[in-house]
């Protein structure tokens, strides 16, 4: 049984990951801003016989993320897995100049990830073990129109996570999970009409979020000493 912290656990992939890992017997610590959602999810997990804690956090706030990790260690004695999953995707063409949305993607998808590394790494080093899992994207492998900034943040997330893997001491595992199009609330934040219309077609075929949860479960279920570096999972219909 591992203590697993998940950012962005209030919907989509994070929620599905919490449900699956709790079912598998792990203790999950649920982080996000919408605390009501987290409380309802924790109740669902408890009712099914699992265990979960709730922690309200904004990943753009470094102190919040540090508090998330520290509180889990205080309550459970250790931090086994940190899943850096929180992300936003308000897509638009660069010439739409939705500069505030660019900033938000960088703050959540890049700074939020770095805050997770800063929060988890001291505990992993003290323990001599731990597993950091980053949710990147197939958009961390290729750029598509309207997704320049989003893909930029996901290329950055993948690069930073690979750097962490290379630098991490033996005993610390690092995995990048790169999902293709997956059913979630991710596209709800798109305000640009053109990007919204394009996304409707793009999301015609999606994976269920539990398909990504299964990949995360596979990575953390490997024996100590086995590090799954990256998993790319996409719908068969996605090129
Ligand atoms: P959702 O929109 O369903 O979930 C995103 C989660 O991130 C929510 O729980 C949200 O919680 C949380 N979040 C957003 N901003 C913040 C913040 N500032 N602080 C804390 N939590 C925050 O999308 P997905 O489940 O799809 O996304 C999960 C990850 O998977 C993201 O990193 C995304 O980029 C990645 N991904 C998703 C793909 C897809 O097709 N769905 C494809 C490739 C990658 P709250 O609002 O309550 O804070």
Q: What is the pLDDT of residues 110-124, one digit of tens each?
A: 999 999 999 999 999
SS (HEC) of 26-95: CEEEEEECCHHHHHHHHHHHHHCCCEEEEEECCCCCHHHHHHHHHHHHHHHCCCCEEEECCCCCCCCCHH
Task: Read off the pTM.
Answer: 0.98
- CA 94–ligand 1 middle distance (angstroms): 22
- CA 87–ligand 1 middle distance (angstroms): 4
Choice from 20, 56, 87, 187 to test ligand 1 binding pocket (greatest atom count within 8 A of CB): 87
Q: What is the pLDDT of residues 67-91, one digit of tens each?
A: 999 999 999 999 999 999 999 999 9
Q: What is the pLDDT of residues 182-211, one digit of tens each?
A: 999 999 999 999 898 888 877 788 999 999
Q: Which residues have C-beta atoms less than 6 Å from ligand 1?
A: 7-8, 10-14, 32-34, 37, 57-60, 85-89, 108, 135, 137, 179, 181-182, 184-186
Choice from 186, 188, 207 to test ligand 1 binding pocket (greatest atom count within 8 A of CB): 186
- Known catalytic residues are 150
Q: Where are the domains of the chain?
A: 3-233
Atom of ligand 1 nearest to the CA of 181: 40
Q: What is the pLDDT of residues 14-65, one digit of tens each?
A: 999 999 999 999 999 999 999 999 999 999 999 999 999 999 999 999 999 9
Homologous superfamily in CATH for domain 3-233: NAD(P)-binding Rossmann-like Domain (3.40.50.720)
* Contact (CB, 8 A) for 41 and 9: yes
């Amino acid at each position: 049984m591992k203590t697993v912290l998940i950012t962005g656990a209030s919907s989509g992939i994070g929620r599905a990951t919490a449900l699956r890992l709790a079912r598998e017997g792990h203790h999950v610590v649920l982080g996000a801003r919408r605390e009501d959602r987290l409380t309802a999810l924790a109740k669902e997990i408890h009712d099914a016989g699992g265990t979960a804690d709730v922690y309200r956090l904004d990943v753009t706030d470094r102190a919040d993320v540090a508090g998330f990790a520290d509180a889990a260690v205080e309550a459970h004695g250790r931090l086994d897995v940190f899943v850096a999953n929180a992300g936003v995707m308000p897509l638009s063409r660069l010439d739409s100049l939705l500069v505030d949305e660019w900033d938000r993607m960088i703050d959540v998808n890049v700074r939020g990830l770095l805050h997770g590394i800063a929060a988890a790494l001291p505990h992993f080093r003290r323990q001599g073990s731990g597993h950091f899992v980053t949710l990147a994207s197939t958009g961390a492998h290729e750029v598509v129109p309207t997704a320049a900034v989003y893909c930029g943040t996901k290329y950055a997330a993948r690069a930073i996570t690979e750097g962490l893997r290379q630098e991490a001491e033996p005993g610390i595992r690092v995995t990048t999970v790169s999902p293709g199009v997956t059913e979630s609330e991710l596209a709800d934040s798109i305000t640009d009409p053109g990007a919204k219309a394009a996304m409707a077609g793009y999301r015609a075929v999606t994976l269920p979020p539990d398909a990504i949860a299964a990949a995360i479960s596979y990575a953390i279920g490997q024996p100590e000493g086995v590090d799954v570096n990256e998993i790319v999972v996409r719908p068969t219909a996605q090129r």
